[in-house]
Structure 1
Amino acid sequence: MAWFAKIESGIVDKSTFDHYVPAHIEYVKQLNQRGYQAKSGYWNRRGGGMLIFQAESMQEAEAIVQQDPLVLNRCVTYDLYEWCLVVED
C-alpha cells in the first residue's frame, strides 16, 4: 500500500471545528482497525493539520478523505498527496 497525506486548512470558527474533532478521532481509530495505519495531528499554529494513512490507490485515498467528518461537515479544505517515501526502516 502507498502512503497518502491530506494537508488541511480550517475554514470554520474554533468552536464549530472542535465540535467535530471527536468524530474525526473516532474515524481515524476506525481506519486503523481496518489496517490503514492512519495518524492525525495539527500544526502548532492554529488553523490546519495533516492526516497520513496508507491506501491502495489515489482513488481509495480520496474516498477515505471524503468520509472524514471534518470534510463531511465542511470544516476544512485540503490537498491530497501520495507521499513517496525515500527512507524507510
Structure 2
Amino acid sequence: MGDYKQMPWFVKIEEGKVDKPTFDQYVPAHKAYIQDLIAKGHKARTGYWAEQRGGMLLFEATSKEEAEAIVADDPLVKHGCVNYQLYEWRIVME
C-alpha cells in the first residue's frame, strides 16, 4: 500500500432554484445517490446551509472529468433543482 495516492477532493456548491415541494421530491433519490458514492469509495459528504437555500457536496474523484460526471448524475442536478459550481479543493492541512 506504499504507493497509494489519495484522490483529489472536489466540492459542489449549490443553490436551490425550485420551490421546496419540487426540491423535496428528489431528496430521497439524492440520499440514495450519496450512499452509492460512499459505497464506491468517493467519501462523499452532503449537507445544506442553515441560513439559506442551498448546500454543498464534498467528495473524492480521480479527476475533474470524473467529478463532473459524478455531479451530472446527482438527481438534484438531473432534475434542474439547483445551480452549482464545482471546484477542486486542495487540502493544505489535515
The TM-score bracket by the shorter chain reads: over 0.9
1:70-89 correspondence to structure 2 within 5 Å: 70-88=76-94
1:33 aligns to 2:50 (yes or no): no
Q: Which has the larger radius of gyration?
A: 2
* Runs of 4+, deviation exceeding 2 Å: none
Give percent identity, aligned residues only. 58
TM-score scaled to structure 2, two decimals? 0.92
Q: Does 2:77 correspond to 1:65?
A: no
Q: How does 1:5-24 map to 2 (within 5 A)?
A: 5-24=11-30
How many residues align? The count is 88
- Structure 2, unmatched stretches of 5+, are 1-6
CA deviations over 1:16-40 (Å, ceiling 9, x no partner): 0010001000000000000000000
In 1, Cα distance between equivalents of 2:51 and 2:79: 22
RMSD of equivalent CA atoms: 0.5
Q: Which aligned pairs between 1:42-61 and structure 2 lie closer than 5 A?
A: 42-61=48-67
